[in-house]
C-alpha cells in the first residue's frame, strides 16, 4: 500500500490515541492465567495485540469481544492452560513471542512459537539463555538464537539474574516464568525499563517487591482484575512531534498514559523547547494518565543518551525527525538496540530522512543530526516498520510538496487508524 501525504497548511484538533499496546498485551496474558473473569476496556486492536489474543485462545482461554471495543477474558488459573493443537503464530509481535516464551516455559506441555519473516530474523537468545538458567528446555534455529522456538515446559526454579540490558520484554518473560517456578526469582535492572508488568502483578495479588532497580517475585496465584487501558504514549508521540515541528499547530490529546518509565519523549521534547501542557492528571487501573496539548514550538538540538534511552527507545525515529528541523545539532547515542527492532531503525531512519533532505549521519548506536534543514517531499519506504511509516507521515506534514510512503499498511501493527487521524488533523484551515 502506498500513502501520499501533502504538506499541511495547519494542524488542529483533538485525538484520542489507541489503547496502550504494552499494557494490552499484559492485560490479556496475565488475566488469562488468573482466577476469574476480567474486562479489558480500550484494548489496543492492533495486529500485535490481536496476535496475543489469538495465541491465548489457542492455549484454551476464552476471550470474548465486548461493547466499545473491549474484551472479556475468562481466566483459567495458574494450571488451566492447555497444549495448543498447532504452532502458535505471533505474527510481527516481538512482545508476544518473548512474553509467551516465559509463560510457556512454566507449562507442563510442548509448545512451538513462530512469527512472520521479520520476527524470525530477530534475536531471541537474550530470552532463551536466562529461561534455561531457570530449567527451561528451549530450542531455536540459527544456534538457538532465532524463532521458531520449541519449548518443553515445566520444572522451573527461581534464579537471581541481572539483565544485560534494560528490556521490559525480557524482564516480563522472566517474571511470567517465575510465577510457575519453585522458589523466589530476583531480577536486577541496569536501568529502569517500563514497569507495566510489575504494576499489574501487584494489582492481581502477586507476591512481588520492587525496590529501586531490583524486583523479587515469589510463585503464586493471580486474581483477575478489570483494566482500563490508557491511550498509548508511543502513539501520542507522533502528534506531539507533529505539533511541535509544524508552524501552525494546536493539537489536544486525551487519556494518554504518562507512566514515567514510558514518558521520556515528553521530557526530551520539553528539553528541546517544545510547548507541551500536561493537564487532568489522574490514576486509572494503577497507571498515571493525563491529557496533553502541544502547540507550534521553536526546538533546539541536544544530546539524547544514557539512562533516558530505555524511556524513549520506540520514539528515537521521531526524535531524529524533530532534530532535523530544530536549531543546532542533536546527537543520539546508546540506542544500538534499535538495530534489532522490526527493522534496523538506525539505518532506515537515517536513510529515509536523507531522502527528505535532512542531514543525518549514522552511528553504530545512534545518529548525529544537523538541524534547520528544509524538508522536501520524496518517495519513501517504511521497510515494513510501523514506527517508520508513521514517522514519515509526520515528516510529510512539514515537507514541501507531497511525500509518497510505500508499505504504509505497516501502521496496522500498532495504530490502525493512523492515516485517518492524520488526514483529519491536517484538514485544518486558517
What stretch of H or E contains 264?
Answer: helix 264-272
CA distances from 337 to 108, 222, 280, 309, 346 (A): 33, 32, 34, 10, 9
Query: DSSP H helical segments within 278-382, as ranges?
Result: 309-312, 316-325, 345-355
How far, rounded to the nearest angstrom, does the alpha carbon of residue 155 sit from its chain's CA centroid? 31
| φ and ψ at residue 27, rounded to 5 degrees | -60, -40
Of 12, 48, 291, 314, which one is the catalytic site residue?
314
CB 271 within 8 A of CB 155: no
CA distances from 67 to 43, 62, 255, 368, 412 (A): 11, 16, 19, 47, 21
Q: What are phi and psi of 90, to 5 degrees?
A: -95, 10
- Look up cell 474484551; give the residue: 71
Please give the Cα distance from 65 to 72 (Å, whole number). Answer: 6
Would you call 314 a catalytic residue per the annotation? yes
Quote the CA–CA distance of 145 and 269 in Å, as a whole number.
36
Residue 404: alpha-carbon gap to chain centroid: 25
Peptide bond into 148 cis (omega under 30): yes
The residues that are catalytic are: 314
Amino acid at each position: 500500500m502506498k500513502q501520499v501525504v501533502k504538506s499541511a497548511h495547519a494542524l488542529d484538533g483533538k485525538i484520542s490515541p489507541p489503547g496502550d499496546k504494552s499494557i494490552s498485551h499484559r492485560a490479556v496474558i496475565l488475566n488469562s492465567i488468573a482466577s476469574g473473569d476480567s474486562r479489558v476496556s480500550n484494548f489496543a486492536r492492533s495486529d500485535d495485540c490481536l496476535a496475543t489474543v489469538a495465541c491465548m485462545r489457542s492455549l484454551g482461554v476464552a476471550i470474548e469481544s465486548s461493547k466499545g471495543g473491549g474484551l472479556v477474558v475468562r481466566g483459567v488459573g495458574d494450571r488451566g492452560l492447555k497444549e495448543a493443537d498447532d504452532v502458535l503464530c505471533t505474527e510481527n509481535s516481538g512482545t508476544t513471542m518473548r512474553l509467551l516464551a516465559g509463560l510457556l516455559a512454566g507449562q507442563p506441555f510442548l509448545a512451538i512459537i513462530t512469527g512472520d519473516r521479520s520476527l524470525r530474523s530477530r534475536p531471541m537468545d537474550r530470552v532463551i539463555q536466562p529461561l534455561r538458567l531457570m530449567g527451561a528446555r528451549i530450542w531455536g534455529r540459527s544456534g538457538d538464537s532465532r524463532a521458531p522456538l520449541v519449548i518443553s515446559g515445566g520444572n522451573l526454579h527461581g534464579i537471581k539474574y541481572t539483565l544485560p540490558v534494560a528490556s521490559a520484554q525480557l524482564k516480563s518473560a522472566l517474571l511470567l516464568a517465575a510465577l510457575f517456578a519453585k522458589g523466589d526469582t530476583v531480577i536486577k535492572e541496569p536501568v529502569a525499563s517500563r514497569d507495566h508488568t510489575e504494576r499489574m502483578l501487584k494489582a492481581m495479588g502477586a507476591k512481588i517487591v520492587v525496590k529501586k532497580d531490583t524486583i523479587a517475585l515469589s510463585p503464586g496465584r493471580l486474581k483477575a482484575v478489570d483494566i482500563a487501558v490508557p491511550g498509548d504514549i508511543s502513539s501520542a508521540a507522533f502528534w506531539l512531534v507533529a505539533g511541535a515541528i509544524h508552524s501552525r499547530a494546536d493539537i489536544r490529546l486525551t487519556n494518554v498514559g504518562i507512566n514515567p518509565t514510558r514518558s521520556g519523549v515528553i521530557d526530551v521534547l520539553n528539553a528541546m523547547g517544545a510547548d507541551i501542557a500536561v493537564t487532568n492528571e489522574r490514576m486509572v487501573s494503577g497507571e498515571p494518565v493525563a491529557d496533553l496539548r502541544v502547540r507550534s514550538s521553536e526546538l533546539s538540538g541536544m544530546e539524547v543518551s544514557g539512562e533516558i534511552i530505555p524511556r524513549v527507545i520506540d520514539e528515537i525515529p521521531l526524535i531524529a525527525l524533530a532534530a532535523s528541523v530544530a536549531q543546532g545539532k542533536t546527537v543520539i547515542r546508546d540506542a544500538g538496540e534499535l538495530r534489532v527492532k522490526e527493522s534496523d531503525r538506525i539505518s532506515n531512519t537515517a536513510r529515509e530522512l536523507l531522502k527528505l533532505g535532512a542531514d543525518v549521519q549514522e552511528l553504530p548506536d545512534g545518529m548525529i543530526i544537523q538541524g534547520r534543514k528544509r524538508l522536501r517531499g520524496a518517495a519513501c519506504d517504511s521497510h515494513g516498520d510501523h514506527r517508520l511509516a508513521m514517522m514519515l507521515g509526520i515528516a510529510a506534514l512539514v515537507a514541501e510538496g507531497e511525500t509518497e510512503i510505500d508499505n504504509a499498511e505497516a501502521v496496522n501493527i500498532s495504530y490502525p487508524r493512523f492515516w485517518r487521524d492524520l488526514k483529519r488533523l491536517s484538514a485544518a484551515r486558517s
